[in-house]
Amino acid sequence: MPEPINVAVVGFGNAGKTFHAPLVAAEPGLVLHTVVSSRPDEVRAAWPDVRVAPDFEPVLADPAIGLIVLATPDALHAAQAGAALNAGKAVVVDKPFALTLADARRLVELSEVKNLLLSVFQNRRWDADFLALQAELASGRLGEVVTVESRYDRHRPLVRDRWRENDGDGVWMDLGPHLVDQILVLFGRPLAITCDMAIQRPGGLTPDWVHAVLRYADKRVVLNAAMVCAAPDVRFAVHGTKGSWLKSGLDVQEDQSKAGLAVGSPGWGVDPRPGTFVDGETGERSPAPGPAGHYQSFYSGVASALRGEGPPPVTASQALSVMDILDAGLRSAATRREVPIDQ
């Protein structure tokens, strides 16, 4: 077995603390070596054996570190990823990849020149509900899918003083990367996008509501994210010529991690609210349970890719495709018209 690869997680906010540090530590092919944080006591309370660095520069210069994970504010992603690649480090970036499509393209080109792994953390490919939906589509019992509705709705009516709500393009760049990536995995690139955004909360500085329609030749996909929704009853509604599949509730892995459950423990990722299949001919509804969620698969795939055993679980080109759709959505919202997607 090759020696595990030392990893530096940069940032210990929600992304670093809840997702990256526990998932890296759970992967046998990786070692959580360093966390970059201005709150060393908080890091040591959770990971007493991990080195804490006060800023980004020491990890760039450390030859022991092979992979840098960026769990930092969105505006820092492009510059930090570029610096890490130029320092000879493989890089995982939390979504969004970058603030602009142009920055994302430059990073992909740099990673190719340096021949280094560059991936984006699209953990929701391994949500229990998304895995269940993939199984439903593979079974064929929905028939030909004609309409998909995918929503991330929350009820947070008060604007919080944090960078995510003070800068950027709001929920489209926060939740949009998940929504778009999942659909690209299922159906590939759409022909066009129509997108509308709004600020619905008093005092809001960035869009907190977005509604997008992806046009395919044979189907329509509706993406929605809202911060003022006290009844977030729909996560997925998928309608085909033979039946429908309905799903409520969000994946539990984030909440399990926040509650202190160790990654991979009994019950990890098990969906307490499985989907429902509705037979198109009889109208009969039946439970449609799927596999447990498995965020561990992301870093397992990263470790395999670093060993030269295949591509990363989210390739740079896939991440660039997501940015392409996000950019088209921004242009659609700004011009209030449909924007075609290059094929």
CATH topology of domain 5-121: Rossmann fold (3.40.50)
Question: What pLDDT score does 162 carry?
Answer: 64
236-255 confidence digits (pLDDT tens): 999 999 999 999 999 999 99
The gap between the terminal CA atoms of the chain, to the nearest Å, is 42
In percent, how much of the chain has pLDDT > 70?
Answer: 97
190-240 confidence digits (pLDDT tens): 999 999 999 999 988 899 999 999 999 999 999 999 999 998 889 999 999
Mean pLDDT of 115-140: 98
Say if residue 266 is preceded by a cis peptide, omega within 30 of 0: no
Question: What pLDDT score does 203 carry?
Answer: 87
**Measuring CA to CA, which residue among 34, 27, 33 is closest to residue 1?**
27
Could you identify the residue written with the tokens 């526990």?
A: 22
Mean pLDDT of 144-154: 96
- CATH 3.30.360.10 region(s) of the chain? 124-295+325-340
Question: What pLDDT score does 204 carry?
Answer: 87
The β-bridge partners of 196 are: 211
Asked if pLDDT for residue 302 goes beyond 80, the answer is yes
Residues whose CB falls within 8 Å of the CB of residue 113, separated by 6 or more in sequence, listed in order: none
Could you identify the residue written with the tokens 């439903």?
A: 136
Which segments within the chain are labelled E, that is strand? 5-10, 30-36, 51-53, 65-70, 90-94, 118-121, 145-153, 192-198, 209-215, 220-226, 236-240, 243-247, 275-279, 285-288, 339-340
Could you identify the residue written with the tokens 């890490």?
A: 84
167-200 confidence digits (pLDDT tens): 667 899 999 999 999 999 999 999 999 999 999 9
Provide the mean pLDDT of the chain.
95
pLDDT bin (cut points 50, 70, 90) of residue 154 is confident
Instruction: Annotate 155-175 with b (16+ C-beta within 10 A) or e (fewer).
Output: eeeebeeeebbeebbbbbbbb
| CA atoms of 22 and 4, how far apart (whole Å) | 16
Domain made up of 124-295+325-340: CATH architecture:
2-Layer Sandwich (3.30)
- CATH 3.40.50.720 region(s) of the chain? 5-121
Question: What pLDDT score does 205 carry?
Answer: 85
Asked if pLDDT for residue 123 goes beyond 70, the answer is yes
Asked if pLDDT for residue 283 goes beyond 90, the answer is yes
Question: What pLDDT score does 166 carry?
Answer: 59
pLDDT bin (cut points 50, 70, 90) of residue 163 is low
Question: What pLDDT score does 64 carry?
Answer: 97
The β-bridge partners of 279 are: 243
Prediction pTM value: 0.95
Mean pLDDT of 109-129: 98
